[in-house]
């Protein structure tokens, strides 16, 4: 279906960007192969997407470099990082050094899981590196603090549950589902997320959190009986 979407978007004069989600799950060469398919379908920029905030800087660099080598002038390379291990900015910089030229960020870092790379940090850091972004540091900081912050209901944070998503590589959108299930069934959100990681569930399967929570409840009750 994505091939059809890219084609239709190009016909409409849109910029086409493809996201290779959960990029931590396959190696650089395999990811580059998927990038080639995406670019051949009409995508103008292919992103290394760290949907779980699981990548380390070297892994982000290696994946970015593999895509740059594969795509050449056929498409740009981008990086979309999450903060579950507090490495979103570091991974973005590593991918930039490997040749990625579109870098995602959000004001005050809202996003799934522990949030995305904060633009207010990316911009001044890139400036310190001598990278021209065309973004005024003081203005972007003002926009984050004075415009975005007042209407963001929940600032992201790297708490126990979010970190637990990062190291087993759980898709970031599972966090709120796990927290709601935890409140409803009285089970730890971080434990539910750990089980999700062990099972290898991906985005679109968030409803399994209920089953996981009920399993934890059953295990707790069996433990209580044994005691």
Write the CATH number for 219. 1.10.8.60
Helix (H/G/I), strand (E/B), else coil: 80: strand
Do 143 and 192 have their domain in common? Answer: no
Do 81 and 135 have their domain in common? Answer: yes
CA distance linking residue 2 with residue 34, whole number of Å? 12
Do 105 and 142 have their domain in common? Answer: yes
45: containing domain? 2-151
**pLDDT tier at 227 (50, 70, 90 boundaries)?**
very low
Do 138 and 30 have their domain in common? Answer: yes
Interval 63-83 mean pLDDT:
96
**pLDDT tier at 83 (50, 70, 90 boundaries)?**
very high
Do 110 and 181 have their domain in common? Answer: no
Interval 193-216 mean pLDDT:
86
Do 105 and 193 have their domain in common? Answer: no
Interval 80-95 mean pLDDT:
95
Q: Is the distance from CB of 177 to CB of 184 less than 8 angstroms?
A: no
Name the β-bridge partners of 116: 82
Structural domain count of the chain? 2
**Ramachandran area for residue 117 (φ above 0: left; ψ -120 to 50: alpha; else beta):** beta
Q: Is the distance from CB of 71 to CB of 43 less than 8 angstroms?
A: no
CA distance linking residue 166 with residue 187, whole number of Å? 20
Q: Token digits for 52? A: 């779980």
* 202 pLDDT higher than 70: yes
Do 105 and 197 have their domain in common? Answer: no
Of all residues in the chain, what percent carry a pLDDT higher than 90?
Answer: 64
Do 131 and 177 have their domain in common? Answer: no
Residue 207 burial by CB count (10 A; 0-12/13-18/19+): exposed, middle or buried?
exposed
pLDDT (0 to 100) of residue 164: 87
**pLDDT tier at 8 (50, 70, 90 boundaries)?**
very high
Q: Token digits for 202? A: 């991906």
Q: How far from 112 is each of 25, 40, 47, 203, 210, CA to CA, in Å?
A: 18, 29, 17, 11, 19
Interval 43-60 mean pLDDT:
95
Per-residue pLDDT tens over the stretch 132-161: 999 999 999 999 999 999 999 989 888 888
* 35 pLDDT higher than 70: yes
Give this prediction's pTM: 0.88
Do 144 and 178 have their domain in common? Answer: no
């Amino acid at each position: 279906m994505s091939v059809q979407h890219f084609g239709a978007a190009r016909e409409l004069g849109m910029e086409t960007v493809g996201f290779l989600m959960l990029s931590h799950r396959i190696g650089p060469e395999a990811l580059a192969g998927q990038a080639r398919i995406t670019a051949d379908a009409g995508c103008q920029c292919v992103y290394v997407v760290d949907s779980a905030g699981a990548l380390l800087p070297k892994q982000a660099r290696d994946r970015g470099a593999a895509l740059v080598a594969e795509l050449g002038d056929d498409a740009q390379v981008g990086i979309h990082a999450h903060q579950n291990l507090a490495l979103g900015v570091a991974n973005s910089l590593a991918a930039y050094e490997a040749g990625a030229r579109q870098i995602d960020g959000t004001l005050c870092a809202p996003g799934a899981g522990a949030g995305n790379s904060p633009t207010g940090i990316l911009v001044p850091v890139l400036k310190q590196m001598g990278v021209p972004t065309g973004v005024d540091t003081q203005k972007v900081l003002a926009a984050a603090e004075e415009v975005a912050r007042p209407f963001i209901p929940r600032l992201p944070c790297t708490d126990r549950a979010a970190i637990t998503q990062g190291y087993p590589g759980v898709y970031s959108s599972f966090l709120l589902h796990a927290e709601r299930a935890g409140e409803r069934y009285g089970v730890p959100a971080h434990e539910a997320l750990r089980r999700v990681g062990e099972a290898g569930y991906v985005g679109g399967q968030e409803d399994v959190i209920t089953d996981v929570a009920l399993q934890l409840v059953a295990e707790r009750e069996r433990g209580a009986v044994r005691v």
